């Protein structure tokens, strides 16, 4: 699945704009308080991640027009509306009205998002909010989530503080960079986007990392993208082969495990890995991915080469001294894969569960295979999650732009001065934006009655998390301005939909706009 | 029409009379006739055009060369216009091409590949050119080829910005298969919204997210607004204000990232709330009047005459290898059409035909202009023959044509991945450009196939059959002499890398 592997990228790649890193934060409250949406929005967990296509709306408008009752005598305006609606210009005018109506609905929903969120979770008693019955579990999980968030950003803050102290020089670049990383919001900003999703990936992360190959429809059902069907079919073939190889591999590992002597911790670790089942899954997939069809031959060759790293002793098989380094490297890699498998297990099951097997045999096959150990290992080799911590993240950022000496002193590299300055400036801009967004919601949480919840939610981590949850709800909401328009201004009669008097002003406006468009069409050359 | 067996006569076919339809070729001395025609044309090059036109008429009368029997008034009018232009310029157009040249050319243009040996043989048996045009227009290969060609034109070869190129190609193929007119296709491309993984046409604007106006105006109007981005156009009338006002049509367009996949939507802005002079304005002067700006832009575009001109010129360019306005995306006062009457006529036909693709293609392919030989009359340079369509342009195969033709010639089935990799490699350093950009020989095709580990079935057979298979013609005695003792693999290798294979002529 070459497209998927192409998506793999270091999670802490330096030149990536902080704007990207922080985008969801910047937009979170924008969705909640009705601020204008930025041109490139991050829709995150929106189920389908899309809105209805233009053609879809057009066909619905056409169906609506067909459903209208004929104009009676004296319905001069309505008659002109029907005439206009029969032309493209008229349908555009109707669509234009609906577009503005949808914008109003969106803004109203965004403005009401916070009260609605609170109403769903809390009961207002006097000036305070109490968790509703049945929401206790949610409250508990929220407090835990916030606690974990705080703990993690505390580690990021510690790492950034260390960088600030070790950074040499006092020029404009260094001062600017220190200002950026010393900000109280910077750890939350960096953590909330990149680190968090790699440490605790949800199904949205899987979906994003596999976006080359999979997409979701409006109902959130996942399917294989047209451009990736061939690659996914190839992956299915590899997984099927790996699934056939895995029991054989495991039998071979079991036999070796019996013979291995746990001479030291390395041997003990190797024995444990052999017995775990993950090694058999990983190696089966790796061998199946070679493109060779001879499964038995592949297995035989693998174990022959493995035995070449071991020697028989009176106590059993031991690792050759000359092979210890290779074995350690391989075990480090397999350790990373194992970590990723643990972290990915649940979200990948959820992802696979959402694959729409009714779309076709390819979807059915990949859905089933992704829920097997070889499916899990295949994704673990491609999706780098779970192996990042605060220290590693900050170190990888620093290493891309600074030289670090043996004493840990850091100096901005001459060729990265401009990059560091730009990064710092963008970081500061986003910090300011984040502060504004979080301030706008801070007044509400003060009213929570539960002291533990109140403390958690009013913390920086709590405010970020609540803003995120609200953003997800707003983003997931679907609007139907046509239904709203028809419902508000038309009545059903035997002959079809009949406009109410309240519709006349709008119909007049649509007729007028359609006539103007028709007039514009007179200019047909340049 | 009497058709003799080639084996019996030693000739491809013979025709005694011009029947009611189709191209009829006179077989007995077809090549000799072409040469004679060319010589005759050469002789009359200094004579008035009337005499130049006579050369073709005489040869036709003699029953020596193919003559287009055009069923459509359009094809006839095209030839009438060009005939007058050629006469005015005092040139005699090139002779009409041979059947073998035609069968290869028409397959490349309408099916996107060279013909099979069987198709060449069938055409030699029944050389009805009009029928072949109709058959290819109705074949799935036509939709597939036009979709591939237009996909390259509209979004290039790469999957930049996470666009779903294959979904886009399939959508286009479906539109062409269903005979959707081009104005409808253009409207869908300009107004599409939703996810790039679900809605095929969304991928057009998703691909050109940085400068949608530049691509839209080049594609659908043949107008280059690039310069006017920064300053008034130096060679045309477009100003920065024109650019800015037209760009406003895309102001509400939002590119969203839905879990790694681009999605298009619109933020509605009420133009009534905007001051006069700040509303989106099309190049005709038409302004936005509703909250659906892209819809209005699409309507203004497909309703204006420049759209029809650009469409007609694009189809002509694709089939003839040169636009009446050349390059086809550069209509400007500084770059007038080479034959204005022809462009007017094609534009009228496009409008009258409701922007249907197949009828316009059929009309062009049925014209004598399309059937001209690529060999100019002896002693003449390319000008003004090419500009006035008095000779067939020699066209390098597009990347897709080359891949499909190599695939057919070498009996190779390419996976989509291999196809993409090969296109990328052949498209050289410009995989995002349209099909006007041709491939480069950084590798030989064989090297490339080896590099991509593409399994190639061995092509066997005598040299005669390999020439027919790869070049769609018989080998000459001289060629047979040259390849004597060579293995089939060597011959295939040599033929595939020869200019004859890599060009449509």
Interface contact flag, A53 B202, Cβ < 8 Å: yes
Residue A482 CA to residue B197 CA, distance in Å, equals 25
Residue A122 CA to residue A132 CA, distance in Å, equals 5
Residue window 150-169, chain B: list those with CB within 8 Å of chain A: 159, 162, 164-167
Query: Which of A211-225, A376-390, B119-133, B404-418 is modeled with the greatest confidence?
Result: B119-133
Tokens of A497: 């939909």
Q: B392-424, pLDDT tens digit by residue? A: 999 989 889 999 999 999 888 888 888 888 887
* Option in B170, B192, B295 nearest A95 (CB): B295
Q: Would you state the pLDDT for residue A72?
A: 82
Interface test with B, best of A7, A36, A50, A485 (most B CBs within 10 A): A50
- Least confident segment among A347-351, B175-179, B188-192, B329-333: B329-333
Q: How far is B162 from chain A (nearest CA, A)?
A: 7
Residue B37 CA to residue B56 CA, distance in Å, equals 7
* Option in A36, A53, A526 nearest B192 (CB): A53
* Option in A42, A225, A521 nearest B197 (CB): A225
Interface contact flag, A521 B415, Cβ < 8 Å: no
Is residue B114 a contact partner of residue B403, using CB atoms and an 8 Å limit? no
As beta bridge partners, residue B254 has: B265
Is residue B288 a contact partner of residue B249, using CB atoms and an 8 Å limit? yes
Residue B431 confidence class, pLDDT cut points 50, 70, 90: low
Is residue A428 a contact partner of residue A183, using CB atoms and an 8 Å limit? yes
Q: Would you state the pLDDT for residue A3?
A: 36
Is residue B402 a contact partner of residue B502, using CB atoms and an 8 Å limit? yes
pLDDT of residue A196 exceeding 90: no
ipTM for the whole complex: 0.76
Residues of A in contact with B305 (CB under 8 A): 524-525
The one-character DSSP state at B382 is S
At B459, phi and psi to the nearest 5? -100, 120
DSSP secondary structure string for all residues of A450-483: -HHHHHHHHSHHHHHHHHHHHHHHHHH----HHH
Interface contact flag, B303 A40, Cβ < 8 Å: no
Interface test with A, best of B228, B233, B260 (most A CBs within 10 A): B260
pLDDT of residue A26 exceeding 50: no
At B138, phi and psi to the nearest 5? -90, -5
Residues of A in contact with B294 (CB under 8 A): 54
pLDDT of residue A66 exceeding 80: yes
Q: Would you state the pLDDT for residue B30?
A: 36
b/e map of B236-250 (b: 16 or more CB within 10 Å)?
bebeeebbebbbbbb
* Option in B188, B268, B415 nearest A100 (CB): B268
Residue B8 confidence class, pLDDT cut points 50, 70, 90: very low
Interface contact flag, B260 A37, Cβ < 8 Å: no
Residue written as token pair 């993690």: A152
Q: B447-497, pLDDT tens digit by residue? A: 777 777 677 777 888 999 999 999 999 999 999 999 999 999 889 988 988
User: Mean per-residue pLDDT for B426-442?
Assistant: 52
Closest to A466 measured CA to CA, from A128, A114, A231, A161: A114
Q: What is the CA radius of gyration of chain B?
A: 24
Interface contact flag, A37 B166, Cβ < 8 Å: no
Interface contact flag, A54 B194, Cβ < 8 Å: yes
Pairing of strands A410-412, A402-404: antiparallel
Residue B432 confidence class, pLDDT cut points 50, 70, 90: low
Q: A180-193, pLDDT tens digit by residue? A: 999 999 999 988 87
pTM: 0.79
Q: Would you state the pLDDT for residue A253?
A: 94
Interface contact flag, B193 A103, Cβ < 8 Å: no
Q: Would you state the pLDDT for residue B291?
A: 87
C-alpha distance from residue A268 to each of A262, A271, A318, A319, A331 (Å): 5, 5, 11, 11, 12
Q: A81-121, pLDDT tens digit by residue? A: 999 999 999 999 999 999 999 989 988 988 888 778 777 88
* Option in A43, A45, A102 nearest B257 (CB): A43
Closest to A468 measured CA to CA, from A137, A197, A103: A197
Q: How far is B238 from chain A (nearest CA, A)?
A: 10
Q: B19-71, pLDDT tens digit by residue? A: 333 333 333 333 333 333 333 333 333 333 322 332 333 333 223 344 444 44
Interface contact flag, A49 B254, Cβ < 8 Å: no
Residues of B in contact with A56 (CB under 8 A): 194
For A291, which residue in chain B has the nearest alpha carbon? Answer: B453
Indicate the length of chain B as a whole number: 505
- Provide CB contacts within 8 A for B415, sequence distance 6+: A230
User: Mean per-residue pLDDT for A472-490?
Assistant: 89
Tokens of A49: 């991640």
pLDDT of residue A484 exceeding 90: yes
Q: Would you state the pLDDT for residue B61?
A: 28
pLDDT of residue B143 exceeding 90: yes
Is residue A401 a contact partner of residue A413, using CB atoms and an 8 Å limit? yes
Q: Would you state the pLDDT for residue B74?
A: 57
pLDDT of residue B216 exceeding 60: yes
Share of residues in chain A with pLDDT > 90 (%): 57
A390 three-state secondary structure: helix
Interface contact flag, A230 B261, Cβ < 8 Å: no
Q: How far is A292 from chain B (nearest CA, A)?
A: 13
Q: A295-321, pLDDT tens digit by residue? A: 899 999 999 999 999 999 999 999 999
Instruction: Provide the number of CB pairs (under 8 Å) joining chain A to chain B.
Output: 175
Q: Would you state the pLDDT for residue A440?
A: 56
Residue B485 CA to chain centroid, in angstroms?
Answer: 39
Residue window 286-315, chain B: list those with CB within 8 Å of chain A: 286-287, 289-292, 294-296, 299-300, 303-306
Indicate the length of chain A as a whole number: 526
Residue B399 CA to residue B376 CA, distance in Å, equals 26
Residue B202 CA to residue A433 CA, distance in Å, equals 31
User: Mean per-residue pLDDT for A323-347?
Assistant: 92
Is residue A212 a contact partner of residue A225, using CB atoms and an 8 Å limit? yes
The one-character DSSP state at A370 is T
Residues of B in contact with A52 (CB under 8 A): 193-194
Q: How far is B167 from chain A (nearest CA, A)?
A: 5
Q: How far is B197 from chain A (nearest CA, A)?
A: 6
Q: How far is B265 from chain A (nearest CA, A)?
A: 7
* Option in A97, A103, A204 nearest B259 (CB): A204
Closest to B112 measured CA to CA, from B466, B423, B352: B423
Q: Would you state the pLDDT for residue A77?
A: 95
Q: What average pLDDT does chain B have? A: 82
- Kindly report the three-state secondary structure assignment for every residue of A500-517: CHHHHHHHHHHHHHHHHH
As beta bridge partners, residue A42 has: B257
Q: A395-448, pLDDT tens digit by residue? A: 888 888 999 998 889 999 999 999 999 999 999 998 998 888 776 555 566 778
Residues of B in contact with A107 (CB under 8 A): none
Q: Would you state the pLDDT for residue A240?
A: 97
**Kind plus residue range of the DSSP H or E element containing A125:** strand A122-125
Residue B9 confidence class, pLDDT cut points 50, 70, 90: very low
Is residue B377 a contact partner of residue B201, using CB atoms and an 8 Å limit? no
Q: How far is A122 from chain B (nearest CA, A)?
A: 30
Of B446 and B338, which is predicted with more confidence? B338
Interface test with B, best of A16, A37, A92 (most B CBs within 10 A): A92
Q: How far is A97 from chain B (nearest CA, A)?
A: 7
* Option in B159, B259, B289 nearest A227 (CB): B159
Q: Would you state the pLDDT for residue B491?
A: 93
Helices (H) and strands (E) in chain B, counts: 25, 5
Q: Would you state the pLDDT for residue B46?
A: 31
Q: How far is A519 from chain B (nearest CA, A)?
A: 9
- Least confident segment among A44-48, A142-146, A283-287, B352-356: A44-48
């Amino acid at each position: 699945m070459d497209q998927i592997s192409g998506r793999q990228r270091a999670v802490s790649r330096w030149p990536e704009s902080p704007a990207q890193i922080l985008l969801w934060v910047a937009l979170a409250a924008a969705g909640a308080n009705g601020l204008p949406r930025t041109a490139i929005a991050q829709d995150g967990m929106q189920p389908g991640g899309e809105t209805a296509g233009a053609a879809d709306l057009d066909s619905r408008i056409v169906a609506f027009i067909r459903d209208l009752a004929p104009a009676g005598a004296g319905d001069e305006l309505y008659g002109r509306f029907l005439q206009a609606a029969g032309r493209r210009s008229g349908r555009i005018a109707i669509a234009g009205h609906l577009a503005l109506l949808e914008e109003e609905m969106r803004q109203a929903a965004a403005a009401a998002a916070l009260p609605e969120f609170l109403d769903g979770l809390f009961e207002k008693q006097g000036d305070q909010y109490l968790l509703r019955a049945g929401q206790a579990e949610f409250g508990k999980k929220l407090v835990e989530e916030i606690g974990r968030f705080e703990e993690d950003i505390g580690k990021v803050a510690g790492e950034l503080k260390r960088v600030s102290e070790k950074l040499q020089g006092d020029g404009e670049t260094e001062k600017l960079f220190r200002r950026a990383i010393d900000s109280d919001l910077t750890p939350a900003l960096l953590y909330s986007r990149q680190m968090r999703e790699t440490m605790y990936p949800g199904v949205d992360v899987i979906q994003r990392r596999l976006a080359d190959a999979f997409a979701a429809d409006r109902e959130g059902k996942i399917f294989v993208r047209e451009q990736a069907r061939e690659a996914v079919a190839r992956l299915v073939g590899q997984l099927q082969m790996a699934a056939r190889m895995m029991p054989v591999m495991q039998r071979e590992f079991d036999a070796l495990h019996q013979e291995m002597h746990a001479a030291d911790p390395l041997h003990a670790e190797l024995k444990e890995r052999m017995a775990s089942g993950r090694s058999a899954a990983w190696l089966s997939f790796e061998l199946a991915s070679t493109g060779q069809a001879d499964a038995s031959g592949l297995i035989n060759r693998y174990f022959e080469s493995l035995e070449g790293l071991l020697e028989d002793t009176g106590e059993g098989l031991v690792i050759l001294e000359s092979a210890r380094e290779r074995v350690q490297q391989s075990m480090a890699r397999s350790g990373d894969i194992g970590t990723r498998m643990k972290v990915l297990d649940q979200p990948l099951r959820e992802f696979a569960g959402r694959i729409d097997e009714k779309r076709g045999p390819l979807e059915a096959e990949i859905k089933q295979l992704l829920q097997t150990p070889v499916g899990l290992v295949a994704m673990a080799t491609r999706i780098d999650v779970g192996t990042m911590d605060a220290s590693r993240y900050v170190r990888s950022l620093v290493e891309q732009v600074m030289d670090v000496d043996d004493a840990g002193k850091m100096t901005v590299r001459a060729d990265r001065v401009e990059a560091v300055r730009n990064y710092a400036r963008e970081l500061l801009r986003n910090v300011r934006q984040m502060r504004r967004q979080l301030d706008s919601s801070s007044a509400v949480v003060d009213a929570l009655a539960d002291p533990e919840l109140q403390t958690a939610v009013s913390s920086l981590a709590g405010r970020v998390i609540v803003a995120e949850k609200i953003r997800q709800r707003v983003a997931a909401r679907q609007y139907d301005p046509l239904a709203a328009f028809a419902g508000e201004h038309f009545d059903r009669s035997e002959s079809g939909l009949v406009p109410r008097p309240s519709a006349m002003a709008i119909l007049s406006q649509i007729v007028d706009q359609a006539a103007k468009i028709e007039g514009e069409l007179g200019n047909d050359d340049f | 029409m009497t058709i003799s067996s080639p084996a019996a006569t030693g000739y491809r076919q013979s025709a005694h009379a011009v029947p009611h339809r189709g191209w009829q070729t006179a077989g007995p001395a077809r090549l000799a006739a072409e040469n004679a025609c060319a010589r005759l044309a050469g002789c009359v090059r200094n004579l008035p055009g009337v005499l130049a036109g006579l050369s073709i008429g005489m040869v036709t009368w003699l029953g020596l060369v193919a003559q287009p029997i055009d069923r459509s008034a359009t094809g006839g009018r095209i030839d009438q216009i060009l005939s007058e232009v050629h006469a005015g310029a005092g040139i005699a157009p090139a002779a009409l091409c041979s059947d073998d040249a035609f069968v290869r050319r028409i397959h490349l243009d309408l099916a996107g590949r060279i013909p099979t040996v069987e198709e060449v043989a069938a055409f030699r048996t029944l050389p009805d050119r009009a029928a072949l045009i109709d058959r290819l227009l109705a074949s799935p290969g036509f939709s597939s080829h036009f979709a591939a060609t237009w996909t390259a034109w509209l979004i290039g070869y790469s999957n930049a910005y996470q666009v779903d190129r294959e979904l886009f190609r399939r959508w286009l193929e479906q539109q062409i298969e269903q005979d959707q007119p081009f104005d409808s296709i253009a409207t869908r491309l300009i107004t599409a919204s939703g996810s790039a993984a679900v809605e095929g046409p969304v991928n057009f604007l998703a691909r050109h997210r940085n400068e949608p106006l530049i691509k839209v105006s080049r594609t659908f109007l043949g107008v280059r607004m690039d310069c006017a981005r920064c300053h008034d156009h130096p060679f045309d009338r477009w100003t920065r204000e024109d650019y800015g006002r037209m760009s406003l049509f895309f102001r509400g367009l939002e590119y969203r990232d839905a879990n790694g996949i681009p999605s298009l939507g619109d933020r509605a802005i009420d133009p009534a709330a905007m001051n006069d002079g700040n509303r989106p304005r099309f190049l005709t002067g038409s302004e936005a009047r509703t909250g659906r700006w892209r819809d209005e832009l699409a309507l203004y575009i497909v309703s204006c005459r420049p759209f029809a001109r650009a469409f007609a010129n694009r189809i002509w360019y694709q089939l003839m290898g040169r636009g009446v306005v050349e390059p086809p995306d550069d209509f400007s006062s500084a770059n007038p059409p080479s034959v204005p009457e022809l462009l007017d006529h094609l534009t009228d036909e496009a409008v009258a035909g409701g922007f249907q693709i197949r009828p316009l293609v059929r009309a062009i392919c049925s014209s004598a202009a399309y059937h001209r030989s690529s060999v100019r009359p002896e002693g003449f340079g390319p000008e003004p023959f090419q500009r006035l369509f008095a000779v067939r342009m020699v066209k390098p195969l597009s990347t897709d044509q080359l891949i499909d033709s190599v695939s057919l010639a070498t009996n190779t089935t390419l996976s989509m991945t291999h196809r993409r990799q090969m296109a990328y490699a052949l498209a050289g350093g410009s995989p995002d450009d349209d099909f006007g950009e041709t491939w480069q020989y950084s590798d030989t095709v064989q090297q490339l196939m080896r590099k991509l580990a593409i399994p190639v079935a061995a092509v066997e057979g005598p040299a005669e059959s390999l020439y027919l298979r790869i070049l769609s013609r018989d080998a000459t005695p001289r060629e047979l002499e040259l390849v004597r003792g060579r293995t089939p693999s060597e011959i295939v290798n040599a033929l595939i890398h020869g200019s004859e294979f890599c060009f449509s002529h």
